[in-house]
Amino acid sequence: MFTENLADALALIGIVIVVASLLSGLIERSGLPQVGIFLILGALLGPVGLGLVTLTLDSPTLQVIATLALVLVLFSDAIAVDIGEVKRQHRTAFLVLGPGTLIPAAVIAVAGWYLLGLPAMESAILGAALASTDPVLLRNLLRRPSLPPTARVALRLESGMNDVVLLPIVVLGILVVRAGGAVDPMEFGRHAMGLFLLGPLFGAVIGFTAITLLEQVRARVGVRRDYESLYALGVAFTAFAAAETVGGSGFLAAFAAGLMVAVLDVELCDCFLDYGQATAEMFLLFTFVAFGAWLIWTGLNVADMRTLLFAFIALAARTAVLLPVLYKAGIGPRDRRLIAWFGPRGLSSLLLILLPVFAGMPGSLRLFEITCLVVLLSVFLHGAAIAAFLRKDAGPGAALETTPTPPAKVATAPAAKPVPERITIAEMRQLQEAGEPVVVADVRTGRSYNDSSLSAQGAVRLPPDDAVRQARQLGLDYHGTVVLYCA
């Protein structure tokens, strides 16, 4: 059972939304690991606390929550991919998604086989799950403007796309284990085709069709921007369901649909990042609360010397691999250290390791508990490191951001002619000639800004997700007119 009744379920959802909203500013300023806070909240709501959440591994509710969460993780990561950025940083992308992902997975698998006595294929599944880095834990870090561009690109690409590299290992590994090592070639081929062909194909087709339909409706009658973000979520769930119906991988279909949106419709991407991502992130935090109620703490049951040594290797393998790989790629020391260290394990690892649990694979319970232990350690270690970086980045002047802007003085002169919401270039020039302080601000999203060769003459850059702080840093006149350029 998830909750005793509908009222408890609604109360739980309400608690998550209220707490997430009230703590959002504090978490962002302090750098506290948001995930850790929601795991503790889950423990307070679980069996040892208020008893609102009683999830178990065989609960159908858990399977629904985990499936939706993995779809949202894959789709959100794909739609956030900046294709132009990938092209510019293709070498870095290859390093972090190729050797930077697969070699640590192999190292972790060998450690699981040697230290924990796991069979080879179970070790491979565990290695793949624990090589996945978590985008949720990295979000506050990636939002920081001071994070070096190379490190930002590498961490965003890795946390956003390495799940797709590792998911086939988990799925095919489950097939081999369940067959006792003697897999029917026809069965294996059918699963491989569903993974590598049907899933991505259906996702791409649905993504393309959805964008074409949206463009037609947008051109004829228009679509509200906030509803476009909901439309994107609908595309993700439709792609998943369609691929699963024909025997393909719904997870890879959701990723392919998101990638198609990222390639073909920047406006829909930006709408999703403005509105839909907050909805998706709230659900992912809700998932952490569900895990924190009881399930993730089962990792402490296996915390002996061998398992702790394995967990240390699992957390250190990525850093040990990436430092020399990135050095050979000519990436600077600071960027190298940031990329190599900030690779937290979190929700992605838990969701991947739940796939063999839901499939009823023998030995999957132990794999889940080991993964829970590694994730708990990662939330503590990587969360503390990210918090330290964010506090250092904020510096002694960080408190100034919380100081409210003083209200404008009441004008004693006759009121000026109101400035319209939309302003022409001629009207802007009239204001300037009249001596009005006018600032032209380029408020396009990072993706639109980087992919365009056009810019407004003399415009200052105000990213929409950090406009207030940037305006204060630039010292813009509080009483002036700001003309927003977003074409």
Residue 364 lies in a domain: yes
Same domain for 374 and 454, yes or no, is: no
Asked if 458 and 440 touch (Cβ cutoff 8 Å), the reply is: yes
Greater confidence, 29 or 203? 203
Q: Which of 350, 379, 398 is the last residue of a domain?
A: 398
pLDDT at 145 over 50: yes
Handedness of CA 28, 82, 469, 21 (dihedral sign): negative
What is the pLDDT at residue 89? Answer: 78
pLDDT at 441 over 70: yes
- Banded model confidence at residue 410, pLDDT cuts 50, 70, 90: very low
Q: How far apart are CA 319 and CA 378, in angstroms?
A: 13
Same domain for 319 and 383, yes or no, is: yes
pLDDT at 119 over 50: yes
What is the pLDDT at residue 31? Answer: 62
Residue 317 lies in a domain: yes
Same domain for 193 and 122, yes or no, is: yes
Residue type, 255: F
Residue 403 lies in a domain: no
What is the pLDDT at residue 43? Answer: 85
Same domain for 432 and 365, yes or no, is: no
pLDDT at 399 over 50: no
Greater confidence, 7 or 384? 384
Element housing 215 (H / E): helix 199-220
Same domain for 241 and 376, yes or no, is: yes
Residue 243 lies in a domain: yes
Q: Which of 398, 417, 442 is the last residue of a domain?
A: 398
Greater confidence, 444 or 421? 444
What is the pLDDT at residue 446? Answer: 62
**Strand spans (E) along 152-261:** none
Asked if 212 and 266 touch (Cβ cutoff 8 Å), the reply is: no
Q: Do β-strands 481-485 and 438-442 pair in parallel, antiparallel, or remain unpaired? A: parallel
Q: Which of 398, 413, 434 is the last residue of a domain?
A: 398
Domain with 138 in it: what CATH number? 1.20.1530.20
Same domain for 373 and 442, yes or no, is: no
pLDDT at 177 over 70: yes
| Nearest of 133, 225, 211 to residue 464 by alpha carbon | 225
pLDDT at 404 over 70: no
* pLDDT tens column, 272-328: 665 556 667 777 777 888 888 888 999 999 999 999 999 999 999 999 999 998 887
Same domain for 76 and 165, yes or no, is: yes
Domain count, the chain: 2
pLDDT at 409 over 60: no
Choose the most confident range, by mean pLDDT, from 195-199, 318-322, 465-469.
318-322
Q: How far apart are CA 120 and CA 342, in angstroms?
A: 28
Same domain for 221 and 352, yes or no, is: yes
Residue 215 lies in a domain: yes
What is the pLDDT at residue 349? Answer: 92
Same domain for 382 and 437, yes or no, is: no
Residue 440 lies in a domain: yes
Residue 461: which domain range? Answer: 425-485
Mean pLDDT, the chain, whole residue set: 79
Same domain for 325 and 362, yes or no, is: yes
Same domain for 350 and 433, yes or no, is: no
What is the pLDDT at residue 124? Answer: 96
Alpha helices in 31-89 (DSSP H): 34-45, 60-79, 83-88
Greater confidence, 285 or 349? 349
Asked if 120 and 113 touch (Cβ cutoff 8 Å), the reply is: yes
pLDDT at 2 over 80: no
Tally Cβ neighbours within 10 Å of residue 329: 16
Same domain for 287 and 436, yes or no, is: no
Asked if 97 and 165 touch (Cβ cutoff 8 Å), the reply is: yes
